[in-house]
A and B are shown apart, each in its own frame.
Chain A
């Protein structure tokens, strides 16, 4: 069965510093997609970044990058130059690309950015 694990319930980072949010996953599928979403206190989920299982290069989107280590089944999110507005819940998610495109989510990490 597929599973996503986020082991950090909460993280603190100083403004302007970089932070890494951990995500490990488990799947027997060869084709899958990995996603990160942000959920601010307003509640709406925001898609941040995507990494396909066959992508050889790590995905980047502005200040977000995904450190993809396939052999270790990890897909950590790196946020560079943290801003106060980055304070939010962050969810790692995995989509099955073969069976039915179901997406499951990890428990989330709450990030606090300190001024």
Chain B
């Protein structure tokens, strides 16, 4: 079956612009989480969605937002981009709330802000 698909793979934006990243989870997976990965901060939790509802939000400013659609696809948006937003953004999906299954991660979107 198809894995977690993130688009685009690479993105270059200018400070002040906004960006939308997309994530298509594995078919049947209702939980989607987003992480920001940087060399200095590691993997930082952004949001978690389950059945179109945001259940958890990390400690990021309001410029970071997201949503999940009825088909479980998710988008995250970053407005007024800053240089520090340059990072690898990872999307991960899971079938259910708990259980023994770990996430399945996408390949990520590498965002560079110049």
Contacts and interface: CB of A to CB of B under 8 A. Distances in A.
User: A and B, one complex?
Assistant: yes
Interface of A: 33, 35, 37, 43-48, 50, 52, 91, 93, 95, 97, 99-108
Contact of B42 (A33, A99, A108): A108
Nearest to A96: B56
Contact of B102 (A37, A44, A100): A37
A108 B56 CA distance: 23
B88 A43 contact: yes
Contact of A44 (B43, B48, B98, B105): B105
Given A47-B103, A47-B104, A103 B45 contact: yes
A100 B57 CA distance: 10
B66 interface: no
Given A43-B107, A100-B55, 8 more contacts: A35-B102, A43-B88, A44-B106, A45-B105, A47-B101, A48-B102, A101-B55, A105-B42
A37 B43 CA distance: 12
B64 interface: no
A101 B31 contact: yes
Interface residues of B, number: 24
A45 B90 contact: yes
Interface of B: 31, 33, 35, 42-43, 45, 48, 50, 55-56, 88, 90, 92, 97-98, 100-108
Contacts of A50: 100-102
Contact of B107 (A35, A44, A93): A44
A84 to B, nearest CB: 23
Nearest to B110: A43
A50 B108 CA distance: 23
A101 B102 contact: no
